A and B are shown apart, each in its own frame.
Chain A
């Protein structure tokens, strides 16, 4: 806050409090010209549109409550931030409070996470308590993309099957969560042409035992070997080091219909798994990894 706005806020605050005090104390008594007739309720002499105000005094303790709230606000701005740039004697900040609460939560939950310390992910994956906590962590952090059941969706890999883009070992899963993954499949239309796209597709269908046009398979195999096998392997079994998927198992990340597969070949695909290392602590990532690991074991 610049000095001008700081002064502005201070002036408004002090002015308001002073104004409230003035209203409170200036209205303690009122001089009335007219003497009330006997047996009549006295009036304040205020008349608006012929409506007269009876003298119904405010209870004294109510007035004291007003005074109390003025004192409270004065004490408040001395202790807490409020008077322009003055930070308050207690040094309270909202981010500090958040950190404090986070710390308190960490202290509380660290004790629980500590019970899983030193256990391997394989051990954790059969621990029912770790499984339950992992499921909750998964629901909060992963289910948005991978689905509540970890079954994945269009562009988001299925985590509950045995097919892994970057490997299904404990280390690989942990690395995928911690550092994230960036999948990059370039588009091949310019290099192999529309005919090439169609031929490769038929070849892949043959590998996956789907209906295919036998006449195009040989040409497709040639295109595959010169352009695709570098990443996806000569047998189209994929390469976990690159994150290149297995193309022969009929598991498709971007849809299994011929048109979808052809689109993938023509224009390529860009996948991104964001790194979680700045969001989740190591203890949480381990539980998540064990949960994901157990998901694939269940099926």
Chain B
């Protein structure tokens, strides 16, 4: 909320005044101003958008290249297939992403917010539609104040139609990551999609519509945790969007032919207010660094153009650092950044290593719990084990099962099983032993499962053989 809004909430009474503790939201009418940073934003968001929209259409090996198959609990990412057992990898990936965000924030501030965050990219798209149907800032303000007539209805209708279309494509694409999108598109066109699928597609569409159409900067200000803890990562060498107060103040309007330096004590800021009008989060950058600022640089575009017009040097508002503003040097390599970078490199290398040596096989061993052991009529002691062999590979395999331990167990059950790609085989085996051999009543054992055609696909699991303690 801008300074105007705060003025409104003050009563004129001198001795005391009333504060309203719930904010009446002032709608932000951001002015469109084309400049370097807007173009940069557009260019950076187009590949991201295309990536989001087109990725689910890629096919590999006869299936969708990126397909999170929730009912089967298999997550296909290009040539690899991940199972819920691999969720540790996802956790690490997210930690790496968070760390990368920290490192980037230390170096260049909230570049993520201003240029790549989906909230920003979608909001910019929605603003584009708004601009197309309702026109520029002043026209939009006028239109909102105007009574409902045909002009207002078709402009507003067109805008909401455009928003809904984008929102639906977004929601549909999102669901397409979880349901094969080619089949899904046919189902949607023939109205034969599953109700649950339709629900999710429209839920995400509704969320997109609300977030990018209505909530916009409110998401950044009140919902996004990143915006709130950014200050922890900032230091005086971090790149921020800032107004050069020393150069700009005393701000004030002047005539074009005034010689500002000679004539008055006015600074370079002509107080045109354009930087406030273009701001998508509705702040005045001249008030200093604020938690609302998403570093989008649109105010820089506006200010540079004005400075050009009044024949003053640009960069009154610019991407700069606190140190630079105070005329000292900006250090790029500083311990904090080096630390983040080193941590990042180590984590990424470890992650890649784990990914490369990952074995697409998982063995679980479940002992029968209620029957500790069983005596056979020949006097042997038997234990029952349920083996769950998950073949996480994309090929069928035959697996050899063996048991390792201090004793020669008699293995009852198949020792060679074939498991299809993506199958979880439940395999029942028994181990038998003469209890006379058991010294302590039980023995540690290890089941080992190994693919017959590939020695590297091997997994093992510890378990325990239990017998009578004493006879």
Instruction: Find the A residue at minimum CB distance from B374.
Output: A153
Partner of A256, one of B16, B218, B375, B382: B375
A61, B25: Cβ atoms closer than 8 Å: yes
Q: Do A33 and B15 touch across chains, with their CB atoms under 8 A apart? A: yes
Q: Is B20 located at the chain interface by the 8 A CB criterion?
A: yes
Q: How far is the CA of A174 from the CA of B335 in the complex (A)?
A: 76
Provide the residues of chain A in CB contact with B265, threshold 8 Å.
none
In Å, the complex CA distance between A148 and B24 comes to 66
Interface residue A168 (Cβ < 8 Å from any Cβ of B): no
Q: Which residues of chain A have C-beta atoms less than 8 A from B382's C-beta?
A: 151
A86 at the B interface (CB under 8 A): no
- Chain A residues 252 to 267 lying within 8 A of chain B, measured CB to CB, are 252, 255-257
Residues of A within 8 A of B370 (CB): 143-145, 147
B145 at the interface (CB under 8 A from A): no
Q: For the complex, what is the distance from the CA of A256 to the CA of B375, rounded to whole Å?
A: 8
The answer to whether A32 touches B18, judged by C-beta atoms less than 8 angstroms apart, is yes
Q: Does B229 contact A (CB under 8 A)?
A: no
Whether A57 lies near B23 (C-beta < 8 A) is: yes
Question: By the criterion CB–CB under 8 Å, are B371 and A29 in contact?
Answer: no
Question: Contact string, A9-32, partner B, CB cutoff 8 A, digits 1/0?
Answer: 000000000000000000111111
Complex CA–CA separation, A57 to B24 (angstroms)? 9
Q: A61-B218, A147-B384, A149-B384 are in contact. Are A154 and B374 (CB under 8 A)?
A: yes
A55 is an interface residue with CB less than 8 A from chain B = yes
Q: Are B428 and A57 in contact (CB under 8 A)?
A: no
Report the minimal beta-carbon distance from A53 to chain B, rounded to whole angstroms: 10
Is residue B368 contacting chain A, with contact meaning CB distance below 8 A?
yes
Q: Is the CB of B20 within 8 A of A152?
A: no
- List, in ascending order, chain A residues with CB within 8 A of B18's CB: 29-32
Cβ–Cβ contact B377 & A30, under 8 A: no
Interface residues of B in 1-33 (CB under 8 A from A): 1, 6, 9-10, 14-25
Q: Once the chains are docked, how many angstroms separate the CA of A267 from the CA of B377? A: 22
Smallest CB separation, A198 vs chain B (Å): 20
Is there an interface contact between B22 and A60, defined as CB atoms closer than 8 Å?
A: yes
B6 proximity list for chain A (CB < 8 A): 42
- CB-CB under 8 A from B22, the residues of chain A are 28, 57-60, 62-63
Q: Does B379 reach chain A (CB closer than 8 Å)?
A: yes
Interface-central residue, A58, A59, A63, A250, by most chain B CB under 10 Å: A59
Residue B437 CB within 8 A of the other chain: no
Write the nearest CB–CB distance from A55 to chain B, whole angstroms. 5
Tell me the minimal C-beta distance from B209 to chain A in angstroms.
15
Which residues of chain A are near B215, meaning CB under 8 Å?
Answer: 61
Q: How far is the CA of A49 from the CA of B16 in the complex (A)?
A: 23
| Minimum CB distance partner of A64 in chain B | B22
Interface size on A, residues (CB 8 A): 36
Q: Which residue of A lies closest to B14 (CB)?
A: A35
Contact (Cβ within 8 A) A30 B368: no
- List residues of chain A with CB within 8 A of the CB of B371: 145, 147, 153, 156
Chain B residues near A251 (CB, 8 Å)?
A: 377
Contact with A along B284-322 (1 / 0, CB 8 A): 000000000000000000000000000000000000000
Contact mask for chain A residues 107-144; partner B; CB cutoff 8 A; 1 contact, 0 none: 00000000000000000000000000000000000011
Cβ of B424 to closest chain A Cβ, rounded Å: 13
A44 at the interface (CB under 8 A from B): yes
Residues in chain A near residue B17, CB distance under 8 A: 31-32, 35
Known pairs A33-B16, A143-B368, A148-B428; A28 contacts B384 (CB<8 A): no
Interface assignment of B388: CB less than 8 Å from any CB of chain A: no
B residues near A152, Cβ cutoff 8 Å:
374
Q: In the complex, what residue of chain B is closest to A45 when comparing beta carbons? A: B19
Whether A149 touches B25, Cβ cut-off 8 Å, given contacts A33-B16, A35-B17, A44-B19, is no
Q: Answer yes or no: B430 CB below 8 A from chain A CBs.
A: yes
User: Cβ of A57 and Cβ of B374 under 8 Å apart?
Assistant: no
Q: Is B353 positioned at the interface, with any CB of A under 8 Å from its CB?
A: no
State the Cβ distance, B161 to closest chain A Cβ, in Å: 24
Measured between C-beta atoms, what is the minimum distance from A255 to chain B in Å? Answer: 6
**Contact digits for B421-444, partner A, Cβ 8 Å, 1 yes 0 no:** 000000010100000000000000
Q: Give the CA-CA distance A226 to B14 in the complex, in Å.
A: 116
Minimal Cβ-Cβ distance residue in A for B383? A147
Known: A151-B382, A252-B377, A256-B379. A29 touches B20 (CB 8 A): yes
* B24 near A60: Cβ-Cβ < 8 Å: yes
* B222 touches A (CB below 8 Å): yes
Q: Is the CB of A147 within 8 A of B25?
A: no
Residues of A within 8 A of B463 (CB): none
Q: Are A57 and B21 in contact (CB under 8 A)?
A: yes
Q: Which residue of A lies closest to B430 (CB)?
A: A149
Closest to B9 in A: A57
A57 lies within 8 A of B20 (CB):
yes
Chain B residues lying within 8 Å of A145, measured Cβ to Cβ, are 370-371
Q: A148 near B16 (CB under 8 angstroms)? A: no
* Chain B residues, Cβ within 8 Å of A58: 21-23
A144→B368 CA distance, assembly (Å): 8
Interface check B386, CB cutoff 8 A: yes
Q: Within 8 Å CB of A27, what residues of B?
A: 21
- Give CA–CA (A98, B386) in the complex, Å: 31
Cα of A154 to Cα of B379 in the assembled complex, Å: 13
A241-B166 Cα distance, complex, nearest whole Å: 76
B471 cross-chain contacts in A, Cβ below 8 A: 257
Contacts of B1 in A (CB 8 A): 57
* A226-255, CB < 8 A from B: 250-252, 255
> Is A250 touching B377 in the complex (CB atoms < 8 A)?
yes
Distance in angstroms between the alpha carbons of A143 and B370 in the assembled complex: 9
Q: With A and B bound together, what is the CA distance between A153 and B368 in angstroms?
A: 11
B468, chain A: closest CB distance, angstroms: 10
Question: Closest chain B residue to A255 by CB distance?
Answer: B375
Contact A59 B218 (CB under 8 A): yes
- C-alpha gap A62/B22 in the complex (Å): 9
Among B17, B371, B430: residue with most chain A CB under 10 A: B371
Within 8 A of B (CB), among A135-189: 143-145, 147-149, 151-154, 156
- For residue A161, which residue of chain B has the nearest CB? B377
Contact A59 B222 (CB under 8 A): yes
* Minimum Cβ distance to chain B for residue A291 (Å): 13
Q: Which residues of A contact B375 (CB under 8 A)?
A: 154, 255-256
The 5 closest A-B pairs by CB, nearest first: A57-B23, A153-B371, A63-B22, A153-B374, A250-B377
Chosen A-B contacts, 28 in total, with CB atoms closer than 8 Å, are: A30-B19, A31-B19, A32-B16, A33-B15, A33-B16, A35-B14, A44-B19, A57-B9, A57-B20, A57-B21, A57-B22, A57-B23, A58-B23, A59-B25, A59-B221, A61-B25, A61-B215, A62-B22, A147-B371, A147-B384, A151-B382, A152-B374, A153-B371, A153-B373, A154-B374, A154-B375, A156-B371, A250-B377
B-side interface residues toward A, CB under 8 Å?
1, 6, 9-10, 14-25, 215, 218, 221-222, 368, 370-371, 373-375, 377, 379, 382, 384, 386, 428, 430, 471
Given contacts A58-B22, A147-B371, 10 further A-B pairs with CB under 8 A are A29-B21, A30-B19, A35-B15, A35-B17, A44-B21, A60-B25, A61-B218, A148-B428, A252-B377, A256-B375
